[in-house]
A and B are shown apart, each in its own frame.
Chain A
Amino acid sequence: MHVPDGFIDAPVSLAAGVVAAAGVGVCLRGARRSLDEATAPLAGLVAVFVFAAQMINFPVGAGTSGHLMGAALAAILIGPYAGVLAITVVLLVQALLFADGGLTAIGLNVVNLAIIPVLLAWVVFRLWTRVLGQGRPSIAGAAWFAGMLSVLGAAAGFAVEFALGGTAPVDPTTVATAMLGVHTVLGAIEGVVTALVVLAVVGVRPDLVAGLRRSGSGTAPALPERVEA
């Protein structure tokens, strides 16, 4: 869902760039507080995995393909601050090295593919597991729903940006409807992959999963104290 150059006009792209820079700034500060010796390498791994997974486009029928977006996965595994940063690193590598996503659209892509979906997924996952508990079925459901909503949120982000600053003479409602329609299918798949990977990590060590920590916002995880508790 990487926006190329030209789709969205300069003012809206610039505004998105400002929002993206502010968001990344907040996350740099937040991650400094929340990351520790155990979670820092995991955050690096999440970035690598998301890059790799995004290369795998799978056909979903009707001449369309999709790939994992990874924002929900990042949010749940390493928390919202490091999650936004991990996806942003991936987006920068993709735009600069692989010409995937426009350079003038980098702010749009950071907003759509990192900030919006990571925040949505984090809030959804935390609320769900707080209400329904941290049993495996609950974790699976929460991860699926977080993945689903993260993709729809990203699609909605583009639809809003197009309505505000789309350069093509196309009805914004048509674009919004089409985006949300296609991405409902992709979101359902995103949710399944997100749930499977989260369950795999939970199986190894639940206290590595930021979304399951009691401390809340992903800060002060106090990992060493909970070992073998």
Chain B
Amino acid sequence: MTRAFSTDMSAPMRRAVALVLIVGMGVSVLLAAGVSMYASDEPDGLERVASDTGIVETEQDSATADSPFADYGVSGLQDQQWTVGLAGVVGVLVTCGIAFLLFRALARGSGEPDQADGNPDG
């Protein structure tokens, strides 16, 4: 991650960015790995409206429904709490990898952002 910083960034700015990054990443990992096991299982706004109105009957399974991480779980891992947390860590790592590569490529004005954007699981 330190390679994202150039040498011409001022020291106070570098410290501020580092602080925000460290705190932000820490909070994100805590949320995805830990707090997620206490998340509500109740339907969200759209799901609630869909089930109240009957739209839900037109729902089809996603083509990725067989993904080993489908519905924020790890297939084969039964423990309801650990499976969500582990899926959360995987999601954070994958999102982190794609997003940092994409934005670094864009900031340098080089690279192939379209490719990085289109292959999130690659």
Q: Show the binding face of A for B, using Cβ within 8 Å.
A: 1-7, 24, 28, 31-32, 35-45, 47-49, 51-53, 55-59, 62-67, 82, 85-86, 88-90, 92-103, 155, 158, 162, 166-168, 170, 174-175, 178-179, 182-183, 186, 201, 204-205, 208, 223-224, 227-228
Contact = CB atoms under 8 A, between A and B. Distances in A.
B95 A36 contact: no
Given A41-B17, A92-B120, A168-B53, A49 B43 contact: no
A178 B52 contact: yes
A63 B43 contact: yes
- Main SS of the interface on chain A? helix
A99 B103 contact: no
A74 B63 CA distance: 29
- 9 closest Cβ pairs, A-B complex: A6-B60, A47-B99, A40-B107, A44-B100, A65-B40, A52-B28, A52-B32, A99-B70, A205-B16
A5 B59 contact: yes
A55 B13 contact: no
B20 A208 contact: yes
12 contacts: A40-B103, A45-B24, A63-B48, A65-B41, A93-B91, A97-B64, A98-B64, A98-B67, A100-B71, A155-B45, A168-B54, A228-B12
Interface residues of B, number: 76
A6 B106 CA distance: 35
B77 to A, nearest CB: 14
Nearest to A179: B49
Interface of B: 1, 4-6, 8-10, 12-13, 16-17, 19-21, 24-25, 27-29, 31-32, 35-36, 39-46, 48-50, 52-55, 57-65, 67, 69-72, 84, 87-88, 90-92, 94-96, 98-100, 102-104, 106-107, 109, 113-114, 117-118, 120-121
B42 to A, nearest CB: 4
B54 A42 contact: no
Given A42-B17, A49-B28, A99 B71 contact: yes
Contact of A49 (B9, B24, B49): B24
